[in-house]
Structure 1
């Protein structure tokens, strides 16, 4: 091991990850071009040694700090001229940091605190600019045709003592001039004003001399879309996979998701939801613009590069108000160390933002989701699939990945909660192509229960459980589960949205609105499904003016979603817009011809009576019929009493559904029934109540008795049929089979 004094230059591309996301190959090509055409010739001319390149940066050693700074100045001047001739999308800008100090030499590489200081100083430079340490400044302050602006003493990461730092002003007219920061706050008005004028003169001269050099923009605080929260606010931008291997996309997304999820558990932070950051990341905007749009003070950005079993992860936390980097770190680790990297990033964010953790939060953050990295990989794949469910194959792939994760690690709580989430979605939306409603409901209960057995603080499992309990009429338990989800993850928009829904359907309308407002602040660009949920909550709380725009946006994105048309029809009618209400109802009936009020009265029988009647009244006003296919039987044709009982006492029906499906249904004397079509064979039980025929079949609609009426057939449709059986789900024409 060798030690000696050296000047260290570190350069880093500004916004490399975001540029790579837009044009990965082009960005890499431009970086390599700058290396060959600018950096390497200048390094050679000034007797430097290129130690290594680091993805989007480079480390150079010089014997003389004067040579190091001359090299940096020439590089930035050449880059500025090159950029002036290029379209904005093809420009690369570098930040350069220079330090002088003792280094450790190991083979071709160099290490030590002086190298670390150069790296930290680099983050203080403006795009297209240079920052130097006090040690470097002391040697070069009168030896180059540039000026300097003192940044004072800077506290930088992993360096015990504050480090003096200076901006380099690239203007020969300012040669040898230095503007110093004032330390005393008591007489700031005169000295600071003089200093400000001097800085403006220097930077103004620099712009005159080099109009292509970009000066850091002023604080975006006045153009934030939302007021900043009263706690440190963070947006974790999607990590960029710079491997060139699509197989690592799910890993980069998974790392982003996990950081958001883990930070969301910290009550002392305000963390933007994943959908909003992924949505805004698709637009080529500066970090400060992103922060302004999301209304956060800090932005975390990073990249991931995989090579075999090794990962290189770059992370940077940026203060979007000042534009400065609070800290930056590069991790060159084995894939097996991924959780350790996540823990380190989270702890550094919490430390940098001076957030205090409760004991419970410390325990949650210390918990590793699984010790099996293959199981974790399958879990990440499931999460990526499950962002937006669209078809049966997406559901099946998602479930397959979750199940593989569980097979590899049966105690992986997050994977069990993932299955619960899919199952409750299938159950709520009647996606019977996967499971019957009864099976989906049981799977959701079982999977959520298993997840909570393994991890009592699992927010997703509590959320699923709350929805199940609400529909089962267990309001108090549903409220408790929803509150537990919010407590476990106090920055989770989904948990707040779920709590708002439960509050809305238990009569707490004002609280529901307040919780939904919190959810939308955490997720200001929510996915269509969440927009629909928010619209439903506002509609239920009688705030249609707020609900309708959200539901209209959801309907545009989800044109075939039944609830979007259903609730819009009702909301329009509630607001007195009968024309729009009728149009929405007509579209609903076009998509789902069997839509009817009786069905909705069964579907929402767990609602408070006032809310249920409000909804049914609005739907009726919009034009939704009482029974499927608009069936309207005459009271005089209705079968009742003994005649009704005789139709199901050891009798067999042969008939056809309104949709054309042939069926046979047999009833025995004990109240059992068997129903069969070409594709279905099920059994159930029947009873007569209030001149209605009530049935329930295993795994059928909501697992409860569903009642309807029988009419003598006086309609023109299927005139050969003797009777019409109407239920909330179907209209069937039938005759009795011969004895």
Structure 2
């Protein structure tokens, strides 16, 4: 008689995967795969064995492992994250592979060298809410660790985990930039009343530590902080603590959580400056002051030539790194909030997440969420402009059921947004794009785009808007320069495919077809289902007489956009800036 009983046992389960794996493979598929395989086989797998664990399987971009002891599992996780941090130290930010790790103790089902059950599912869900480079554990795991380890844990409270019925309490292991567990936090001797957090992302830039051993260099470190504070202040969606308040912490050993509590901010940026032998090295790290989690860390090294030019250069580098990261962190938090607790700003963040998808369904959902936000806050100018851009894109991408309605609605919302706030650089940027595609008043559109970049020269959106406006105005060289500035301002932005397509179309009008192909392929890697990347490639290949590749790009375009015709997609646009693009599409055999 066959024994059909399922084998079960209690185990500590470790689930790890790579944060932002799709973005990394989009940038460099083969290189990312090779680096991940090296990290799994050379670091994660040996550490699991060393801590008496068993690798159950590799999961494409991660690993699932089983341990007999949660203490072993957590110690292994720390060793892996420390090793990852060390290997990432010499890697450019955009190429870094960072693990997120989740650990749970629970009952598992064992079947043919694999494991299943809620215990495995919970570990995987905890991994999903861990910070890149961090470790998140369940309350069950934390209870078994008490008194056995010296690590500092942060209580994340009840978490709503996907496909897990009841909210589960979770704990975050505090890690510092080196990948080591942070020391336990001592309660402050003196305590003041904590300030309430503002209703938008809030940040304080602390004085950078002068590591040069030369008191004369204090001016450089202080100047750097002032420049960064000023640059961040130009983002109206950010609440930035003034320099005078931040500098009250100068020269003091600070607890970031206490700083956040006393200044009433969610995020704290801290760093150091070291000058020696004609060079300067600046390190910075962005910390969630509520949880103590490290969100971002990097270092910059430059030759010490013109001090003020150097400050400007490093300021741009720091702001372009942390501003997009901070915004993505806010979006991630908004998606985890319960629907009944959503504010207008939460709804805006959710709308932006859908807008980034550039799909028919994504734009429809972004419009719905934007209107819900406006019901709560009718004076939210930027979300009004966002809804207008979504209606515009439905026309441009052929998603509109009633193009005339979407066209009119885009223009109506543009005008409403400007009446609410015509001094916000992001609102101006969106308004300029809508006007360029839907109205056609070159002088006004160029004026709005130039005002947007003047108000915030570090804004991805302002520079990208300027690129589209100048391209449509028939000034492709200036458009390309603007797109390049946008990419510099946000080098890992989810909208980079729009920049590369804009550059590709501008290159075509300049007859720089080889460069158009490079840009089109970059856009396709960023967003494989984005139709404009394919028609950019089809046109450029056709102009070069590479007919086979042109037909292949045209076929891919028709797969992603079966209703595509040249007249439908290009016919309603001002065509002076599209002459060579359209000529190439015809050569590629695309339907009129």
TM-score, normalised to structure 2, is 0.49
Greater gyration radius: 1
Higher relative contact order (CA 8 A, sep 6+): 2
TM-score, normalised to structure 1, is 0.40
